[in-house]
Structure 1
């Protein structure tokens, strides 16, 4: 087997049984992407980008994978689809949202995938759980740690730890 690469994924849900959906997403990721090496607490967060929708549950997980970034993206999109994600409105309500935040220290900008995630530093719902599990992880593009990015973030959404 190829050597493992550390990746960080953001999970979010604001429709249905949000806790159960996050658990199913983690299970599918563990079965199909790689080994979960750490996971943040779950946080309830105000919607970002489009305010008129239910609150989200968000979490960040660290996964060790032998898969290439594009393969990880394909699988997480498949998992979203299988769990009931329908894409009809940008930043709209969704059963599940899985974003690839980091793939090692890879910088990538292709038609399908940008790494690190281009809006990571603007979103408390990504940064707060990321800081919980990887405060010293350095964003390879911005050359700042997760904690430094959190301290610089201007997002004022409410993010509350629930578990």
Structure 2
């Protein structure tokens, strides 16, 4: 089984319910089990500020699915929950991003692993650190070191699954 970390985000249509529904769907994927979920954090949008705050979390799954097969399933879950891509970094009912897939490094048109900008996003690093404080990224960077960069984050825990 491969260990995979997935970022979850939503800022439309009751975001906490959107994330909980996504977690249920993740746990139902074939050859996959959900093993950990961070707290849900309320955060300001990364992109345009004329949208509601986000609710973000990170989940850890164990899976036998190949990376692109998993990506297809995640996009299917997003679509089933009404995901519409209106603008880059815009509002959405659900966003699911593969952050890490074991120590795999991939740079393809459809998938970049580790996630291309995860180390610069407090709404990824803080929840990831919460569930995997001893994690070392494939680049050799300790998640604990990255978390120090966001020690003064302004996110608020809004839900604990």
Structure-1-length-normalised TM-score: 0.92
Question: Structure 1 residue 153: deviation in Å?
Answer: 5.3
Q: What secondary structure, in the 3-state scheme, does the structure 1 residue paired with 2:28 have?
A: helix
Residue ranges of structure 2 left out of the alignment (5+ in a row): none
Q: For each residue in 1:23-51, what CA deviation from the matched residue of structure 2 results, as whole angstroms up to 9, or x when unmatched?
A: 11001111115111111011111111222
1:1-163 maps to which residues of 2 (within 5 A)? 4-32=1-29, 34-141=32-139, 143-152=140-149, 158-163=154-159
Question: Structure 1 residue 96: deviation in Å?
Answer: 0.3
Aligned residues: 158
Asked if 2 retains the 8 angstrom alpha-carbon contact of 1:38 and 1:62, the reply is: yes
- Provide the C-alpha distance between the structure 1 equivalents of 2:153 and 2:51, rounded to a whole number of angstroms: 14
- Provide the C-alpha distance between the structure 1 equivalents of 2:103 and 2:56, rounded to a whole number of angstroms: 23
Q: For each residue in 1:47-86, what CA deviation from the matched residue of structure 2 results, as whole angstroms up to 9, or x when unmatched?
A: 1122221001111000000000000101001110110000
Instruction: Tell me which stretches of 4 or more aligned residues in structure 1 moved more than 6 Å.
Output: none
Asked if 1 retains the 8 angstrom alpha-carbon contact of 2:58 and 2:127, the reply is: yes
Asked if 1 retains the 8 angstrom alpha-carbon contact of 2:126 and 2:150, the reply is: no
- Provide the C-alpha distance between the structure 2 equivalents of 1:157 and 1:98, rounded to a whole number of angstroms: 22
Q: What secondary structure, in the 3-state scheme, does the structure 2 residue paired with 1:67 have?
A: coil
Q: What secondary structure, in the 3-state scheme, does the structure 2 residue paired with 1:150 have?
A: helix
Structure-2-length-normalised TM-score: 0.93
Could you say what the CA RMSD is over the residues aligned between the two structures, in angstroms?
1.5
